[in-house]
Every structure is written in structure tokens, then in C-alpha cells.
């Protein structure tokens, strides 16, 4: 077992020198306002470049999708430029790093959205509390995305994927787990829709499929992964 962990493995187009992968770890070290990566993050990821593959902390694809204090984003030019020294530091240390793309859906508190309601597959409210810049607060009701807005969110993912490529990442992972937006479409408890995005398992997976299609258009299938929560 010990020897096997240190054997190389190829994950799609990414050749990894060992099988010890670094999981995504939400840290809250980005600069606010702007959700911009910082020099501290360069050091953090460079120090871990000996992993076979680093999966970055969850990174917001849009203002609408990010609801964690001081987490980084990938929607603005400033964020892209600030990620470049991070990926460069990992690559100079002979590491590999992919960006985890994150839309939190109904778990974005209105405090992050200028008071506007968060979006989700359906008009539901998440249980528990949100972390906000001013402390823990109850989640608030989300509104359902229209079909037209779903298409716009898919394009937000596409833009984020293109930004990740410009920032120097080796690929992307779609965060489709842990009760965030993609997961909210997949689950019957949060997807109450009666259109082509709700009802059957195939319909509930339609949003996931469309987002993955957009990511593959940018990166190719061999540099795109997806994180799911079996339940």
C-alpha cells in the first residue's frame, strides 16, 4: 500500500507523480472587497505542490454564486491576474493544480447580494446558518431560476472555466456536491420544478450535464472533473 501511493497515475490529461491528492479546503484568505487571491495563497499552495494533484479551494464563478467570507472568485480580470502567481508558484515547484468551480445557490446569504434573494433550482430555504462577514445568520428563502437564467448561469460557468485557463490552472473540477447549486438541481428535496429541469432523474441531471458540456468546450473532457455527493 505504501509503495502504491507513490506510484504515478494519469487523471485524464494530467500526469500525477503520486496518488496522494490534496482535497479542496475552504480557507477564507482572499482579499475583500473583490474576493481576490492573495500572496498568502501563493505560499500555501506552493508548500503543498508535492501532492500528486491539488484541487483548489472552492472558487466562486460569479458574484451571485459566492457566499463565503473572503473566499476567492474567478469572474473578474483582477481575480484572474491574482491567481496567476499562485499557479506559477505551484508549477515552479513541479506541482499540478486544478480549480474547483463553485456556485453556492440557496446557501448564499442576501448579505452578499445587496439584499437580493439567492437563487436555486426551486424556491426553498436551506436549513441551518450562513457564515457572513458580520457573523452567523439564518439562511433566507431562495427564488427559483427561470429557464432563461439557467442558460445564463451555464455561461457563467463557461466564462469561469475560460478564466481558469487564462490563470494557468491545469484543469477544473465542477463542485456538484454538498448541497450547493448543482446538488440543489439533482436532489428531489430541493428540485421541485415541473419543467425540463425537474421531475425525472434525467431532467434533474440536465443542469449538471449542460454545465459539464460548457466546461468540456473550454478544456476538453480530459481536464474536467466533477465532485458529487452520493446520497
Name which residue leads in pLDDT, 201 or 231.
Answer: 201
Task: Verify whether residue 45 is a known catalytic residue.
Answer: no
Mutual angle of helices 39-46 and 77-92, in 10-degree steps: 30
Q: Which of 45, 139, 157, 180 is catalytic?
A: 180
Which neighbouring-strand residues pair with 143? Answer: 119
- What is the SS3 assignment for 41? helix
pLDDT of residue 68: 97
Which pLDDT tens digit goes with each residue over 183-221? 999 999 999 999 999 999 999 999 999 999 999 999 999
Q: What percent of the chain has pLDDT over 70?
A: 99
pLDDT of residue 1: 57
User: What is this structure's pTM?
Assistant: 0.97
pLDDT of residue 2: 67
pLDDT surpasses 70 at 98: yes
pLDDT band at residue 230 using 50, 70 and 90 as cut-offs? confident
Which pLDDT tens digit goes with each residue over 6-26? 999 999 999 999 999 999 999
Kindly state the average pLDDT of the residues 16-37. Answer: 96
For all residues of the chain together, what is the average pLDDT? 97
Identify the burial level of 23 via C-beta atoms within 10 angstroms of its C-beta, where 0-12 means exposed, 13-18 middle and 19 or more buried. exposed
Amino acid at each position: 500500500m505504501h509503495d502504491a501511493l507513490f506510484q504515478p497515475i494519469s487523471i485524464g490529461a494530467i500526469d500525477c507523480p503520486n496518488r496522494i491528492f490534496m482535497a479542496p479546503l475552504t480557507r477564507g484568505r482572499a482579499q475583500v472587497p473583490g474576493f481576490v487571491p492573495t500572496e498568502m495563497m501563493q505560499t500555501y499552495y506552493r508548500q503543498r505542490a508535492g501532492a500528486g494533484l491539488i484541487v483548489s479551494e472552492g472558487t466562486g464563478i460569479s458574484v451571485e454564486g459566492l457566499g463565503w467570507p473572503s473566499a476567492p472568485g474567478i469572474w473578474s480580470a483582477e481575480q484572474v491576474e491574482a491567481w496567476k502567481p499562485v499557479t506559477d508558484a505551484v508549477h515552479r515547484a513541479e506541482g499540478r493544480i486544478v480549480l474547483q468551480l463553485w456556485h453556492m445557490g440557496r446557501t448564499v446569504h442576501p448579505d452578499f447580494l445587496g439584499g437580493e434573494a439567492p437563487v436555486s433550482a426551486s424556491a426553498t430555504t436551506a436549513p441551518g446558518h450562513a457564515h457572513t462577514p458580520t457573523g452567523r445568520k439564518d439562511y433566507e428563502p431562495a427564488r427559483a431560476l427561470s429557464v432563461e437564467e439557467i442558460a445564463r448561469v451555464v455561461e457563467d460557468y463557461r466564462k469561469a472555466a475560460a478564466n481558469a485557463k487564462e490563470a494557468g490552472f491545469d484543469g477544473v473540477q465542477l463542485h456538484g456536491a454538498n448541497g450547493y447549486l448543482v446538488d440543489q438541481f439533482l436532489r428531489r428535496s430541493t428540485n421541485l420544478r415541473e419543467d425540463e429541469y425537474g421531475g425525472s432523474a434525467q431532467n434533474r441531471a440536465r443542469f449538471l450535464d449542460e454545465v459539464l458540456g460548457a466546461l468540456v468546450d473550454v478544456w476538453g473532457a480530459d481536464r474536467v472533473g466533477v465532485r458529487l455527493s452520493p446520497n
